Structure 1
């Protein structure tokens, strides 16, 4: 085939009205032509183009851009002009530095893959509509202070064998029970932070690993209200590997939160519950138990909103008396002067000054 100049190639693309271009594993491709005027182009696949250094200039009409395993070092701030971009894959771009803040202006973006980007040190600015975010094997050490992802489920995984200290409700084995404080059914309720330590014995992660979670809320009369939910774990996009050590999973399940507060009215039957039990079991996407992995420790932490406390604390305190003060003290970590008694409480709040977390993976997803 006779070699074409860049101008001829662009003209050819225009003439064909291409909607998809796939140049994956073009090993000698180090730069793409300016395709900003290719208005019909929707999908561009460049993964495996190991020599590609510059971020491609592409049309505002693009909806999916795959740049995995390229030598790209930076994403330009002008990426915000790709207003229709839904999927951006940058996995295993090991030279890639932190993403520009302008990426939060991509309001259509719902899937961002950055796993294997070992030079990414900062959690990316993302819009509230993000449904899938993969940050496995990055150098990120700290999560956003807000910890607020409405409608999202969160899974963080890293090597280790201890439940973090801020999980005051923790135990050995696959089940844990916590006491619920008075007035926990309020507008301050954010859900439950969950944690499991899993021991892997020559486990081959060819597919997705998740957890079944059986939750039981007990009333003072001994009646129980049960909720079953599924938690994200390791993602199917991982390359198969053998796991032979312990891993810690930090989890948040929006489904569990939604089931508790559905139809609100201060959570109806749950307002009479004083105890909650959680049992965890590793399972695949179809709910089948997984071999060669076992939950050896688990923990639960009741999450309450600090902002609500500050905004409505006085009026709530007048109505609830000492009960409110009890909730206010539980899980407080602001001054480092907490007592051992406070460490034994079953409630915590997300704090800006929490210790940095050595996060290796993070997924945010709607009903994933």
Structure 2
């Protein structure tokens, strides 16, 4: 499975095939935890290609979140960075992010019993116009609040290499980011149910350290093991139907990620 791709600045890239088949086949490969797909400054990517990337992003994050939940505490340091970082040109948060807001902050009233067995964490997304410099650095801060007014903050830092040579470093282009970082790696310990059982709302604020303007919109999605399993089973069922369909009538997007490799010229898979 292609888990790392630097296609940034690829002017010839127009189409991208879905990687759903490869992702489901590697579902239990727990050593494949980090994924980074960088389609920044790929100005010729069409709407269908960008949609395919963001649909696949949900399956990628669900797979990685499921895998990271199997790790032991002694593995936290090894996987302390962001586990999934995906970006491509665009100005819309993917629609599978149930909670969305304009601006750089989002506040979510959490449902009862949100912190239960099978909770895998949060996926985040934001839209910002990024400046093409050697790298982009940004930060987000979670703030968990209880009904009694008690609160707890967790800061997360992200660094993404861009290195697009030959383009104007004063040119901003709109991009959408999709991210997953297990907060237990920030805490260096399993989350304490004594506090989080009482949490009723969570807010996230994004801000840039280097490389882009103020975040224009953002989104959050709560992740659960049962949703991950259902999504995987739905995808596998669709694949099975396509395999038994008459020749020529299958899903053209289920062909894997070959177009990534061919168009980018950078096969940096792990």
Query: Which TM-score bucket, shorter chain as reference?
Result: 0.5 to 0.7
Residue equivalent to 1:224: 151
Q: Any idea what the Cα deviations from partners look like across 1:230-278, whole Å, max 9, x if unmatched?
A: 134x424443634433211111112x2444693345x331111100010
**Higher RCO (CA-CA < 8 Å; seq separation 6+):** 2
**For the aligned residues, what is the CA RMSD?**
3.9
Residue equivalent to 1:188: 118
Choose between structure 1 and 2: higher helix proportion: 2
1:246 paired to 2:174: yes
SS of match in other structure, 1:245: strand
Describe the shift of the 1:168–1:245 C-alpha distance in structure 2 as closer, same or farther (beyond 3 A): same
Q: Give how far 1:130 is off.
A: 3.8
2:115, 2:197 within 8 Å by CA — same for their partners in 1? yes
Task: Decide which of 263, 266, 269 is 2:190's aligned counterpart.
Answer: 263
CA distance in 2, matches of 1:189, 1:132: 19
1:303-318 paired onto structure 2 within 5 Å:
303-306=223-226
1:136 paired to 2:38: yes
CA distance in 2, matches of 1:157, 1:173: 18
Task: Decide which of 76, 80, 101 is 1:171's aligned counterpart.
Answer: 101
Farther-moved stretch of structure 1 (245-254 vs 273-282): 245-254
CA distance in 1, matches of 2:233, 2:140: 26
Residue equivalent to 2:217: 297
Q: Any idea what the Cα deviations from partners look like across 1:129-171, whole Å, max 9, x if unmatched?
A: 3465554349683527463112561111122212222222211
Q: Any idea what the Cα deviations from partners look like across 1:278-318, whole Å, max 9, x if unmatched?
A: 0001224xxxxx4x61211111111112169x8xxxxxxxx
1:282 paired to 2:212: no
Describe the shift of the 1:302–1:133 C-alpha distance in structure 2 as closer, same or farther (beyond 3 A): closer
SS of match in other structure, 2:215: strand
| Unmatched 5+ stretches in structure 1 | 1-100, 104-110, 285-289, 311-333, 335-348, 362-368
1:162 paired to 2:92: yes
Task: Decide which of 196, 202, 208 is 2:135's aligned counterpart.
Answer: 208
CA distance in 2, matches of 1:161, 1:236: 19
CA distance in 1, matches of 2:233, 2:104: 27
2:102, 2:218 within 8 Å by CA — same for their partners in 1? yes
Q: Any idea what the Cα deviations from partners look like across 1:195-216, whole Å, max 9, x if unmatched?
A: 111034xx3x222213211110
CA distance in 2, matches of 1:282, 1:350: 34
Q: Give how far 1:220 is off.
A: 0.7
1:206, 1:241 within 8 Å by CA — same for their partners in 2? no
| Number of equivalences | 201
Describe the shift of the 1:275–1:269 C-alpha distance in structure 2 as closer, same or farther (beyond 3 A): same
CA distance in 2, matches of 1:304, 1:261: 21
CA distance in 2, matches of 1:351, 1:280: 33
1:320-359 paired onto structure 2 within 5 Å:
352=234
Q: Give how far 1:122 is off.
A: 4.9
1:148 paired to 2:78: no
Describe the shift of the 1:161–1:128 C-alpha distance in structure 2 as closer, same or farther (beyond 3 A): same
Q: Any idea what the Cα deviations from partners look like across 1:86-130, whole Å, max 9, x if unmatched?
A: xxxxxxxxxxxxxxx7x9xxxxxxx85463594873536665434
2:124, 2:219 within 8 Å by CA — same for their partners in 1? yes
Q: Could you state the TM-score of these two structures normalised by the residue count of structure 2?
A: 0.60
Describe the shift of the 1:155–1:182 C-alpha distance in structure 2 as closer, same or farther (beyond 3 A): same
Of structures 1 and 2, the larger Rg is shown by 1
SS of match in other structure, 1:268: helix
